[in-house]
Chains A and B, each alone.
Chain A
Amino acid sequence: MAVQVTNYQCPACNGPLQFDGPSGKLACEYCGSTYPVAEIEAMYAEKDAKAAGNMAAAEAKRGEDAGEWNLSGLNDDWGADAQGMKAYNCPSCGAELICDATTAATSCPYCGNPTVVPGQFQGMLKPDFVIPFKLKKADAIAALKKHYEGKPLLPGVFKDENHLEEIKGVYVPFWLFDGEGEGDVSYDATRTRTYRDGDEEVTETDHYDVYRSGYVAFERIPVDGSSKMPDDYMDSIEPFNYADLTAFSAAYLPGFLADKYDVSAEESGRRADARAENTVESCLRDTVRGYDTVSVRQRHIRLHRGEVKYALLPVWLLTTKWNDQNYLFAMNGQTGKFVGNLPVDKGKKWRMFALVYGVTAVVTALAVLFPGGLLNLLGM
Chain B
Amino acid sequence: MKQRALCLFASLLLLLAAALPAAAADYGLIYDETNLLYTDRIEFLGTETLPAFLERYDIDLRVDILTSKGDFETLTDTAAYLYTEYEYGGSNGGNGASLTLLVEEDADGLTLLDWVAYFAGDSDEWTTNASWNINEVYNLLTPDALDGDIEQDAEVIADAIEAMVTGLDDFVQAGGVGGTIWSPHTEGNLPDGEQPGGDEPSQPVEPPVSGEEEEETLGSVTDTAGILSEHEWQQLTRQADQLAETYGVGVYLVTVDNYRDLGSSINDAADALYHGFDLGIGEDRDAILLLLSMDDRNYNLIAYGDQAKAAFTTAGRERLDDFFLDDFGDNRWYDGFAEYLTWSGDFLEQAKNGTPYAGDHLPMTAEERSSAIRTRVAIILGVPLVVAVIYIFILTSKMKSVATAVEASAYLSGRLQLTRDYDHHTHTTETRRRIEKESSSSDSDGGGSGTSGRF
- Contacting pair A368 B432 (CB below 8 A): no
Interface residue ranges of B409-430 to A (CB < 8 Å)? 409-430
- Residues in A with CB closer than 8 Å to B419 are 213-215
- Residues in A with CB closer than 8 Å to B391 are 352-353, 356
- Annotate A196-212 by CB proximity to B: 1 below 8 A, 0 otherwise: 11011111111111111
Interface residue ranges of B376-405 to A (CB < 8 Å)? 376, 379-381, 383-385, 387-389, 391-392, 395-396, 398-405
- Contacting pair A212 B421 (CB below 8 A): yes
- Residues in A with CB closer than 8 Å to B413 are 216-219
Interface residue ranges of A60-103 to B (CB < 8 Å)? none
Which of A47, A344, A369 has a CB less than 8 Å from the CB of B399?
A: A344
Asked whether any CB of chain A lies closer than 8 Å to the CB of B361, the reply is no
- Contacting pair A232 B388 (CB below 8 A): no
Min CB distance B374 to A, Å, is 12
Which A residue sits closest to B415, measured CB to CB?
A: A216
Total A-B contacts with CB atoms under 8 angstroms apart: 218
- Contacting pair A4 B416 (CB below 8 A): no
Which of A147, A207, A212 has a CB less than 8 Å from the CB of B429?
A: A207
- Contacting pair B435 A4 (CB below 8 A): no
- Residues in A with CB closer than 8 Å to B437 are 199
Asked whether any CB of chain B lies closer than 8 Å to the CB of A138, the reply is no
Which of A200, A208, A220, A338 has a CB less than 8 Å from the CB of B435?
A: A200
- Residues in B with CB closer than 8 Å to A204 are 428-430
- Contacting pair B399 A275 (CB below 8 A): no
Min CB distance A311 to B, Å, is 13
- Contacting pair A3 B429 (CB below 8 A): no
Asked whether any CB of chain A lies closer than 8 Å to the CB of B408, the reply is yes
- Contacting pair B424 A352 (CB below 8 A): no
Asked whether any CB of chain B lies closer than 8 Å to the CB of A39, the reply is no
Asked whether any CB of chain B lies closer than 8 Å to the CB of A239, the reply is yes
Min CB distance A328 to B, Å, is 9
Q: A220 to B413, alpha carbons, bound, how many Å?
A: 9
Min CB distance A16 to B, Å, is 8
- Contacting pair B395 A202 (CB below 8 A): no
Q: A8 to B398, alpha carbons, bound, how many Å?
A: 53
Asked whether any CB of chain A lies closer than 8 Å to the CB of B434, the reply is yes
Interface residue ranges of A229-253 to B (CB < 8 Å)? 230-233, 235-236, 238-239
Q: A110 to B403, alpha carbons, bound, how many Å?
A: 19
- Residues in B with CB closer than 8 Å to A117 are none
- Contacting pair A9 B425 (CB below 8 A): yes
Asked whether any CB of chain B lies closer than 8 Å to the CB of A123, the reply is no
- Contacting pair B423 A151 (CB below 8 A): no
- Residues in B with CB closer than 8 Å to A353 are 388-389, 391-392
- Contacting pair B412 A217 (CB below 8 A): yes
- Residues in B with CB closer than 8 Å to A8 are 427
Q: How large is the interface on A (under 10, 10 to 19, 20 to 34, 35 or more residues)?
A: 35 or more
Which A residue sits closest to B400, measured CB to CB?
A: A341
Q: A215 to B413, alpha carbons, bound, how many Å?
A: 11
Asked whether any CB of chain A lies closer than 8 Å to the CB of B433, the reply is yes
Asked, given contacts A215-B419, A340-B402, A344-B396, whether A44 binds B427 with beta carbons under 8 Å apart, the answer is yes
> Which listed segment binds B: A125-133, A255-263, A276-284?
A276-284
Asked whether any CB of chain A lies closer than 8 Å to the CB of B213, the reply is no
- Contacting pair B429 A151 (CB below 8 A): no
Q: A341 to B398, alpha carbons, bound, how many Å?
A: 9
- Contacting pair B432 A221 (CB below 8 A): no
Q: A352 to B395, alpha carbons, bound, how many Å?
A: 10
Asked whether any CB of chain A lies closer than 8 Å to the CB of B6, the reply is no
Q: A83 to B415, alpha carbons, bound, how many Å?
A: 45
Which of A147, A207, A343, A357 has a CB less than 8 Å from the CB of B388?
A: A357
- Contacting pair B429 A4 (CB below 8 A): yes
Q: A233 to B410, alpha carbons, bound, how many Å?
A: 17
- Contacting pair A221 B433 (CB below 8 A): no
Asked whether any CB of chain A lies closer than 8 Å to the CB of B283, the reply is no
Min CB distance A213 to B, Å, is 5
- Contacting pair A365 B380 (CB below 8 A): yes
Q: A152 to B396, alpha carbons, bound, how many Å?
A: 9
Asked whether any CB of chain A lies closer than 8 Å to the CB of B264, the reply is no
Interface core residue of A202, A283, A338, A343 (most chain B CB under 10 Å)? A283
**10 shortest A-B CB distances, which residue pairs?**
A360-B384, A235-B405, A275-B408, A217-B413, A361-B384, A283-B416, A357-B388, A214-B418, A219-B413, A7-B428
List 22 interface pairs A-B (beta carbons < 8 Å), by A numbering. A3-B431, A5-B430, A6-B428, A44-B427, A147-B401, A199-B437, A202-B430, A205-B431, A206-B425, A207-B425, A210-B424, A211-B420, A214-B418, A214-B420, A216-B416, A217-B413, A218-B408, A218-B412, A236-B401, A356-B391, A359-B384, A364-B380
Binding site for A on B (CB under 8 A): 376, 379-381, 383-385, 387-389, 391-392, 395-396, 398-435, 437
